[in-house]
Amino acid sequence: MPKREAIERETFDWGVRLTVRPFTDVNVDIVIQADIGPYKRNRGSDIRITFPGASITSPLRLGDAQVWCEALQALVAETRVVVADMKSEFGSR
């Protein structure tokens, strides 16, 4: 049975990377990442979300797809929190 992991947060000089690994026993190589660039006035942050795709040879089962979607939703929500924090830090300079 797939199990959700916590969202990992790494801070770099170019921004923040959030990583979630929705599966621990099956599909171990599935990792969803969000790279968040620094906040820029009137532009916001550059955000890139990456993940491996499902295919005919490597499909997700329905239950796995649901867990994957929940993990992606959690990552997007956490990304919004990080961007809001970056925006408030930018405004306080």
Residue 1 lies in a domain: no
Q: Is the pLDDT of residue 75 over 70?
A: yes
Domain carrying residue 55: 8-91
Residue 43 lies in a domain: yes
Binned at pLDDT 50, 70 and 90, residue 93 comes out as low
Q: How far apart are CA 76 and CA 87, in angstroms?
A: 16
Per the structure, how many domains does the chain have? 1
Residue 63 lies in a domain: yes
Exposure letters 29-45 (e unless 16+ CB within 10 A, then b): ebbbbbbbbebeeeeeb
Please report the pLDDT score of residue 32 as a whole number.
Answer: 92
Q: For 16-63, how does the pLDDT look when each residue is reduced to its tens digit (9 = 90+)?
A: 999 998 887 665 678 899 999 998 888 888 999 998 878 888 888 898
